[in-house]
Amino acid sequence: MSVSVEPVVLRVPSASDRDRVGQIVQATGVFRSSEVAIALEVFDEAVARPGSDYFGLGAYERDRLIAFTLYGHTPGTESTWDLYWIVVDPHGHRRGIGRQLMNATEAAIFENGGGLIVVETSSRPDYGPTRAFYDALGYHRAASIPDYYARGDDLIAFTKRLSSHSKTGDHG
């Protein structure tokens, strides 16, 4: 038996996606309420003034947002960019949506002059799949700051250098 999977369309999100962003972030079960508020604040800025400080990219099935990234150029650097958020609705996990979205985000960053992406995440056990995701995409564990988010919850920083080779989605 084969299962038909809806195609995913990638596009810049709009203000009308705001409630869905909050739902997706909450549905993951790993973010504190203060973090949900931060995601919405960054999203609001990305859609109100795209490219000013933040960019956004969404993955849609049947015009419904199922995943998104929020990213931006790191102030004071020549070509470093931060990935602030990548969140996939739990119903979309293990379908390649996150990988597709990251490939497109990396390509957009590269096309905007980006040469290095920095991603910060948690050391908590429930973030294990997230760290494995970055490892699988060729990100390098560059740093760790103990007790950064809370006691026993370290910050893990990943980095990835971009080139014309990596923007094609081939992460060798």
For the segment 102-113, what is each residue's pLDDT rounded down to a tens digit?
A: 999 999 999 999
Counting the structural domains of the chain, the total is 1
Coil, strand or helix: which one is 136? Answer: helix
- CB-CB contact of 47 with 14 (8 Å): yes
Residue 3 within a domain: no
Residue 2 within a domain: no
Higher local confidence (pLDDT), 1 or 99: 99
87: CATH: 3.40.630.30
Residue 137 within a domain: yes
Residue 130 CA to its chain's centroid (Å): 10
DSSP state, residue 137: T
Residue 141 within a domain: yes
Confidence (pTM) = 0.89
The two structure tokens encoding residue 77: 């650097």
Please name the residue ranges forming H helices in 13-127: 18-27, 33-48, 97-111
* Tens of pLDDT, residues 41-98: 999 999 999 888 999 999 999 999 999 999 999 999 999 999 999 999 998 888 899 9
Coil, strand or helix: which one is 166? Answer: helix
Residue 71 within a domain: yes
- Residue 128's domain spans which residues? 9-168
Mean pLDDT, residues 1-20 taken together: 81
Residues 168 and 171: their CA atoms lie apart, in Å, by: 8
